[in-house]
Amino acid sequence: MNRDLSFEPDTGAICIGDTTCLKAFQEKSVVQALVSPWVRGSRDLQNGYKWLQLGGLTFGNHPAGLSLCFHHGKLIGADWGVSLPGASMEGGWPTQQAIDQEIAFVRQILATLFQREMTTHALEFSWGTVWSEFDPKGFLAAHGMRYRQL
């Protein structure tokens, strides 16, 4: 069963369903145990950065994937993507229209979740930053959040 991905507005905690919330700078071993049902892969960049890829999630009731980013064993942020129904593709890649629709959708969900309008590509908080924007280099919709050291 898919679990909904959301964020706790006051702390930026990454929530999966009603029972799993990941906190800023939490140890990778603790996070890995909490998210084990959704882990689909991992990546070690050999430079202090490691990623866990999660599947079986939804964001705004649509299928979503989440990549958790760790630096020196601590959770520092995440990136995610959403699959919208009927998204137009060309040669296996999303069209600009599909990318724009995904960004608009994610920004709408984030504005509702954080009760703040997204007038730019990012929202700033005391705990960190959340963004949703077009990545021209990768030609894709980029959504993510990073924690700020307090």
Kindly state the average pLDDT of the residues 67-92. Answer: 94
Which pLDDT score is estimated for 150?
64
- CA–CA separation, 66 vs 3, rounded Å? 12
pTM: 0.94
Q: Is the pLDDT of residue 21 over 90?
A: yes
Which pLDDT score is estimated for 87?
87
Report DSSP state, residue 149. Answer: P
Burial of 135 (0-12, 13-18, 19+ CB in 10 A): exposed
Two structure tokens written together for 138: 């990768």
Q: Is the pLDDT of residue 132 over 90?
A: yes
Q: Is the pLDDT of residue 4 over 90?
A: yes
